[in-house]
């Protein structure tokens, strides 16, 4: 009579890591369309081009993890050079790294986000930066500076965080593409206090592999990509 043989394997105990979490990291953010931040949302405002977006929780805010791709009825590129800063242009790129891109002039960006969402302000971006950077926290004076700021915020957004940073460049007031596959630019909702034809933006460089994130003002006639933040 054969006996059942039970083979036993021994395992070495693995290292247990303990992470300290802030209270805001444990909070659940509910989305207006149902679900929670981190889920996908569907933007069906344009029945012919229904888009799905990933979301990501950053601190106590919920952000689009992708660039907005909404065009709507008033976004054709026909009024790009008329001085209203209220147009956008959509490109379906042959380069698979770029895919579909929508560049918004500053005026058009103000109302492009879906209901319940809004264009992030300069302050929203400062909060995001301080929430992710491992050296300079929220409220640090470095985020009020212009130029490249931060310790590793740019690197973390490019490579670690689910923020899908793709270097799509921008469109000039003369409707010319610039810096594609080199940098990405995002509008904020905040106007310049010195020049009403300019507004604040953010940019991350790919060519130099910068560890920081760029903050400055630019003419509203430029076409940049945008993100949306939950309006809560």
Domain ranges within the chain, ordered by starting residue: 69-230
* Helix ranges, 57-121 (H): 106-109
Question: According to the model, what pLDDT value does residue 94 have?
Answer: 59
Instruction: Judge whether 211 and 152 are in contact, CB under 8 Å.
Output: yes
Residue 126 DSSP class? H
Question: According to the model, what pLDDT value does residue 209 have?
Answer: 65
Question: According to the model, what pLDDT value does residue 72 have?
Answer: 80
Q: What is the mean pLDDT of the chain?
A: 87
Average pLDDT over every residue of 40-47: 94
Distance CA 174, CA 190 (A): 23
* pTM for this entry: 0.86
**How far lies 101's CA from each of 19, 177, 192, 224, in Å?**
38, 12, 26, 10
Question: 96: left (phi > 0), else alpha (psi -120 to 50), else beta?
Answer: alpha
Whether residue 3 is predicted with pLDDT greater than 80 in this model: the reply is no
The two beta strands, 147-149 and 170-171, are unpaired
Instruction: Judge whether 180 and 98 are in contact, CB under 8 Å.
Output: yes
Name which of 1-10, 157-166, 207-216 the model is least confident about: 1-10
Q: What is the pLDDT of residues 177-186, one digit of tens each?
A: 999 989 999 9
Q: What is the pLDDT of residues 104-134, one digit of tens each?
A: 999 999 999 999 999 999 999 999 999 999 9
Distance CA 102, CA 44 (A): 16
Whether residue 16 is predicted with pLDDT greater than 50 in this model: the reply is no
Q: What is the pLDDT of residues 201-232, one digit of tens each?
A: 999 998 766 789 999 999 999 999 999 999 98
**How far lies 231's CA from each of 32, 75, 97, 115, 124, in Å?**
10, 23, 30, 9, 11
Name which of 17-31, 98-112, 128-142 the model is least confident about: 17-31
Question: According to the model, what pLDDT value does residue 107 have?
Answer: 95
Q: What is the pLDDT of residues 79-99, one digit of tens each?
A: 898 888 999 998 876 555 556
């Amino acid at each position: 009579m054969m006996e059942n043989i039970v083979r036993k394997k021994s395992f070495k105990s693995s290292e247990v890591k303990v992470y300290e979490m802030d209270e805001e990291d444990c909070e659940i953010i509910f989305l207006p369309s149902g679900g929670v931040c981190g889920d996908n949302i569907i933007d069906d405002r344009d029945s012919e081009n229904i888009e799905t977006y990933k979301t990501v929780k950053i601190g106590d805010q919920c952000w689009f993890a992708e660039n907005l791709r909404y065009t709507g009825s008033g976004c054709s590129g026909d009024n790009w050079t008329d001085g209203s800063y209220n147009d956008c242009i959509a490109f379906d790129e042959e380069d698979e790294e770029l895919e579909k891109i929508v560049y918004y002039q500053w005026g058009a960006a103000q109302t492009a986000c879906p209901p319940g969402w809004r264009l992030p302000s300069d302050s929203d971006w400062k909060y995001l930066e301080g929430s992710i950077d491992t050296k300079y926290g929220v409220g640090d004076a470095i985020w009020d500076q212009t130029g490249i700021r931060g310790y590793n915020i740019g690197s973390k957004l490019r490579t670690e965080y689910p923020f899908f940073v793709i270097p799509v460049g921008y469109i000039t007031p003369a409707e010319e593409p610039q810096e594609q596959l080199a940098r990405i630019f995002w509008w904020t909702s905040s106007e310049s206090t010195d020049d009403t034809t300019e507004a604040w933006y953010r940019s991350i460089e790919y060519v130099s592999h910068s560890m920081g994130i760029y903050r400055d003002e630019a003419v509203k006639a430029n076409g940049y990509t945008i993100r949306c933040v939950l309006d809560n």
